[in-house]
Structure 1
Amino acid sequence: MFDAFATILDWLGIAVFATTGALVASRKQMDIFGFVLLGTVTGIGGGTIRDTLLGILPVFWVTNPAYLVVCVVVSSTTFFFAHVPQSRYRLLLWFDAIGLAVFAVTGAETALATGVDPIVAVGMGVVTATFGGILRDLLGGESPVVLRREIYVTAALAGAALFVGMSTAGTPREIALTSGVVSAAAIRFAAIRWNWSLPRYRPRPGRGMDELDP
């Protein structure tokens, strides 16, 4: 039951992130090959970096090319329908929030399955959830979302940490998985809706020479 549920979430994350990459391509008015490139990089980018760091070789999409097929199909389909939503940027944010939440948890679960320390598993969840979006934004000429003021990485960190904590405490994996996804998505949705952001560093005036200790 858990394997089926986790697999569904994994495929959902791939499809959703591929869609966000294609939506960025639509904002940049790229051709269909640009859609496929950004969609594929976004869909598999984070997981590729995760597997490489964990030493899982070959990476997941090499052993299962169906992931690539899904990215290509989703991206190509978006090419023909991206004009339908009135606000593609808003749609991009909501889809990205879903992909972020799913990948934060499935990435952490994949890492846990390799036997790494729980803290490392949380970090791998964050990597899986964010690096596909970073590559998407860089290739699309956008400011990476992780560098903006809004809460983004924090949502992935919260979802991955909750899942790992509940899993290591013996909570049934279906419950831990669902809780992690819902918590990450809720934080990111709230950040989008109410423009939440973490406090930023404020520069302070330096100390004058007369204030320094002799």
Structure 2
Amino acid sequence: MTAPSARTPARERLLDAATDLFHSRGIAATGVDAVLRRAEVAPATLYAHFSGKDGLVAAYLERRFARWREAWDEALAACGDDVLARAVSVFDALATFPSNPGGGDPSAGDDARRGCAFLAAAVEIPGPEHPAHPWLLADSALLRDRLRQLASEAGAHDPDALAGELLALYDGALAARVRAGLLTGDARPVPFPARDLALAAVARHTA
């Protein structure tokens, strides 16, 4: 991996390093020293920006959440007024969203095996008192609320039921991505026809 550019602000270098290392190795397994070496900054710089590792974890998930929401927003915009396409847009976003948008190689095998950054982090974050916990909740709320809204816009007879089915397919796509990463090291495509299955679910719920 190339060294961070001296022109990149230290805060961004720290977030890039955290994204690479937390998602590929795990949060608990990644010490602050490893992040500092990757980012090429002094300890005082990390503490000045994030007040410690917990703050860095929160900022890492906050940035990842913002980038994931932006990717989904772009997928929705590409659908225009097609309410059926909008209902399954989360799978378009997932198919194009890099598994690790922090500056590292998005097809790296270790990264592929980690799967969803939020689900992986949820296992390691101890509880609601952790400063990163609100971003785990934000990711879940975005999926739940937006899928329900899109299901309602598509004309589902029971938007909650359709949203639940779409969420199950989304979780299945993430699990399949992890399996594909284990076998091939490539986690970028959605490796099973989740979008087609989602369209079939929308058709059943709107018939």
- Which TM-score bucket, shorter chain as reference? 0.3 to 0.5
With the length of structure 1 as denominator, give the TM-score of the two structures. Answer: 0.36
